[in-house]
Amino acid sequence: MVEMYDEDYKKRYVFGADYGTSEFKYGPITQGERPLAVENRGYFPEKSVLSQIMGVDREVVVGKDVTLFLESGAELATRLVYPMREGIIAKDDAKAWKVVKELTRYALEEFKPKGWGFNGFYVVAALSAVAPRYMYEMFFDMFDSMAKDAGLVHSATIIPQPLAVAIAHKKTSCVVVESGHGNTQFAPISRAPIRGAVIALNRGGSDANAIMAEILKDAGYGDLVAEETLVRKVKESLGLLPADLNSAITFAKNNPDAVRAVYAVPGTRLKIDLAENSWARFLVGEYVFNPNHEIFQSYFRRGMPRPRDTKVGDVVFYGMLDMAEAITTAVEKCPVELQPLLYSQILLSGGNFSWKVPEKLKNVCVDSAMKIKRMMAEKGIENVEVTMASEPQYSVWRGCIVYGYAVPASYSWSWEKMEGWMNFYK
């Protein structure tokens, strides 16, 4: 009887928390199809200002309240903290941990039911596939304190984001490619994450922004490149993904009018026209998938940072590995028998894969799935099926909800398997 109640209770109070690089998506199972989202950031105001405005003595402000402080200007960069920009929080980054804790508390408090019968949520947190063990430990410590202080957490578990994506898309054997702001993860999955086979690239949406900024400078808009959000919007509007970069550049030089595009900044008089530099639109998408084309060397020489190999914990983040190479490297770490199955189910997730194909450029542009397929074919790997995650911004949260709903409440956390529930309810 007790077990039945535990199980029934768990299913009512499953709570998904996706700690994405730019957004924190959260909500309980009752949210239905979509979670709520706030920017994954926190603001550390001067205490006097904070107490005046908020009437409370909180060290960090998160959620919609952050907007109240954004006009502060000069000190913004030091006071506004994005804890998950690279998917990993350093052990001693106290400010980042404070933001994560406050965001989590903010999210759980928002859905805490009033009245009798609530003993805390069953929280499923999703972290980067390359998150080191100490992050798991610190997250569990955080959930423990929330269970003790406010009864917000009954039990918690942590899963890698790619596993959540695979679950949300109902794929039990696949390679999930999750591309975020700062990095891209390649995670083979076969009924569970194959942890030893995860590959990470030190390249993400921010690198596409970097080359977009260089192109804007060349086109005479150097004064705008300091505004990161504007550069990102220009990238999303004007950036293109070529099927083959050389062919696309040749096409652009022969058909300048077909490639030329203007971006009108909403709500302003500003219009960004790349004019004779419009051919460079193809560089933006190509750079995300393969930065090894010789044309990018000129950008590195003039000062654009070259993506470097870095090591965080035990994980190497490769800088210049192209995406097809990364997929094959990850898959080849798996059992040979499994490899064909994994190649046949490649799942792309993340805003970094949202490349439009304009009608008049459909002979030279492709979407991300086709690009990967072509790159894999160039490496001699056939029978590749690539699919784009639908509503990729919600995939991780949805996977968390399914995971929390299905994994039995009696299954205790195992550090060996890195799965199960860590119980905090006494």
Partner 1 sequence: MIPRAILERKVINHMSKQGLKFEGSNVEEGTLRFVGDGSTYVVKMLDETDGKPELISAALQSAFWAVKGERPYILVPKSMASMDELMAIRLHGIGLLLYGSHEIEELPPIVKHMRGDKKEDGSKVSVEHDSILHMLERIERLERLIHKMNEVDALVSRLERLEVLYGEISNKLLALEGARPLHIKTTVLDIPSKSNNPGSEIELPSFMKDNPWLDILAGKG
- Which lies closer to partner 1 via its Cβ, residue 298 or residue 410? 410
Torsion (CA) 51, 56, 38, 95 in degrees, nearest 10: 70
Q: Is 411 in the site for partner 1 (CB under 8 A)?
A: yes
Contact between 419 and partner 1 by CB under 8 A: the answer reads yes
Kindly state whether residue 412 participates in binding partner 1, applying the rule CB under 8 A.
Answer: yes
Q: Is position 172 an interface residue for partner 1 (rule: CB under 8 A)?
A: yes
294 is a site residue for partner 1 (CB under 8 A): no
- Structure tokens of 203? 């390249």
Backbone angles phi, psi at 170, to 5 degrees: 60, 30
Size of the site for partner 1 (CB under 8 A): 32
Question: CB under 8 A: which stretch of 42-50, 163-171, 234-242, 253-261 binds partner 1?
Answer: 163-171
Of 165-173, 200-208, 281-289, 321-329: span binding partner 1 (CB under 8 A): 165-173
E strand or H helix at 110, and its extent?
helix 94-111
Question: Does residue 389 belong to the site contacting partner 1 (CB under 8 A)?
Answer: no
Tell which one of 253, 358, 406, 425 touches partner 1 (CB under 8 A). Answer: 406
| Three-state secondary structure call for residue 425 | coil
Contact 382, 341 (CB under 8 A): no
The residue within the footprint of partner 1, chosen from 54, 75, 91, 113 (CB under 8 A), is: 113
Residue 2 lies near partner 1 (rule: CB under 8 A): no
405 interacts with partner 1 by CB under 8 A: yes
For residue 38, what are the β-bridge partners?
A: 24
Q: Burial code of 221-247, b = ≥16 C-beta within 10 A, e = fewer?
A: beebbeeeebbbbbbbebbbbbbbbee
29 lies in the site for partner 1, by CB under 8 A: yes
| Secondary structure (H, E, C), 326-348 | HHHHHHCCCCHHHHHHHHCCEEE
SS3 147: helix
In the list 100, 288, 324, 407, the residue contacting partner 1 (rule: CB under 8 A) is: 407
**Beta carbon of residue 169, minimum distance to partner 1 (angstroms, whole number):** 8
Is 168 near partner 1 (CB under 8 A)?
Answer: yes
Q: Between β-strands 346-349 and 310-312, what pairing exists: parallel, antiparallel or unpaired?
A: unpaired
| Residue whose CB is less far from partner 1, 4 or 56 | 4
**Residue 86 contacts partner 1 per CB under 8 A:** no
Taking the C-alpha atoms of residue 239 and residue 188, their distance in angstroms, rounded to an integer, is: 29
Q: For binding to partner 1 (CB under 8 A), which residues are involved?
A: 1, 7-8, 11-12, 29-33, 113, 166-170, 172, 191, 398-399, 401-403, 405-408, 410-412, 419-420
